[in-house]
Amino acid sequence: MAPVLPLVLPLQPRIRLAQGLWLLSWLLALAGGLTLLYSGHLQVQLWHLSTFLAPSCPFAALPRVALAAGAVALGTGLVGAGTSRASLDAAQYPPWRKVLGPLLVVGTAGGGGLLVLALGLALALPGSLDTGLEEGLGTALVHYKDTEVPGHCHAKRLLDELQLRHHCCGRHGYKDWFGVQWVSSRYLDPNDQDVVDRIQSNVEGLYLIDGVPFSCCNPHSPRPCLQNRLSDPHAHPLFDPRQPNLNLWAQGCHGVLLGHLQGLASTLGSMLAVTFLLQTLVLLGLRYLQTALEGLGGVIDGEGETQGYLFPSGLKDMLQTAWRQGGVAHRPAPEETPPEEAPPKEGPPEA
């Protein structure tokens, strides 16, 4: 039975293979560590922005899977560097020889699977951010006024900090604030006729105004911030409501956060792709080094050529061997086979 993808390795190519694997393993450890750190950064970002993401948004699964993939890649790189260095010394190689087999299994099945899954999530999940942010930001705007409602008392502070930090206003623009009551009823004067008229004119009994919170104001504006009566062209001299970006943040928070998170996911996807490529090269090289040294008894500078391979035989041959072994195992032994009964002899015909 011929091995799969055999490769003849004389002495010098074996040494160069071990030295190259040592370098590749450290690169893999570096890529795994960077993936680990960047996944943690994305996880922290999502934790801070969890108020503005719908709970059903699956995007939060990406950094968690990437964290696990980065940890496995980091471990694979460190163990691969130690193994490839120890393989150059016959006295140091035996302890690492026992670790190499499990490392190849865990690195291929576990690490490779996690990297493929994380890379797939990095390519597929950013599309779910649009819906998740749309729903989450809409809920945050509605609960902006609920500063004394349990579970929503921090919504105002978080949304103000979001608009100030990311230079955005509303979900898609400043006019989103016109459609929600963002002033708490506690601060409304029930004796004010304007307040009563506004509440009674609304079907849902909400106090709606054409104004925005202070966090929508652009501090770079040369004039004092205008927050109220933004739809009235005659309310503020020298203010053109068709150009609110001179006074308020022009962008909505949906587009800003969508671009920010998709950029992080794109960078993480590139890092996962590089890590996957390095891990594939390291695992393939370690497998060839392992099988080549097995033919020399674990001594890399042994005499003569040796052959490295991926599998000792083809898939078809391995299945046939397993089938034959299974058939032999279930076939009864010769001494256990019951003797065949002789056919009855016919007697002489009766007269």
Are the beta carbons of 160 and 216 closer than 8 angstroms? no
d(CA 160, CA 51): 12
> Which of 56-65, 108-117, 144-153, 200-209 is the least confident region?
108-117
**CA nearest to 73, candidates 15, 134, 4, 25:** 25
Name 200's Cβ contacts closer than 8 Å, sequence gap at least 6.
none
Residue 97 token pair: 């020889």
Q: Output phi, psi for 129, to 5 deg.
A: -65, -35
In three-state secondary structure terms, 240 is: coil
In three-state secondary structure terms, 119 is: helix
Q: Return the CA Rg of the chain.
A: 35
Residue 331 token pair: 């076939």
d(CA 78, CA 66): 18
Burial profile 163-172: b = 16 or more Cβ within 10 angstroms, e = fewer: beebebbbbe
Mean pLDDT confidence for 65-86: 88
pLDDT at position 119, please?
A: 82
Name 333's Cβ contacts closer than 8 Å, sequence gap at least 6.
none
Q: Is residue 204 scored above 90 in pLDDT?
A: no
Q: How many percent of the chain have pLDDT more than 70? A: 76
Choose between 297 and 203: higher pLDDT.
203
d(CA 54, CA 60): 10
- Name the average pLDDT for the chain: 80
In three-state secondary structure terms, 248 is: strand
What is the value of pTM for the model shown?
0.77
CA dihedral 133, 138, 144, 150 (to 10 degrees): -80
pLDDT at position 314, please?
A: 58
**CA nearest to 86, candidates 74, 100, 73, 76:** 100
Q: Is residue 279 scored above 80 in pLDDT?
A: yes
Residue 9 token pair: 């390795």
Q: Is residue 330 scored above 50 in pLDDT?
A: no
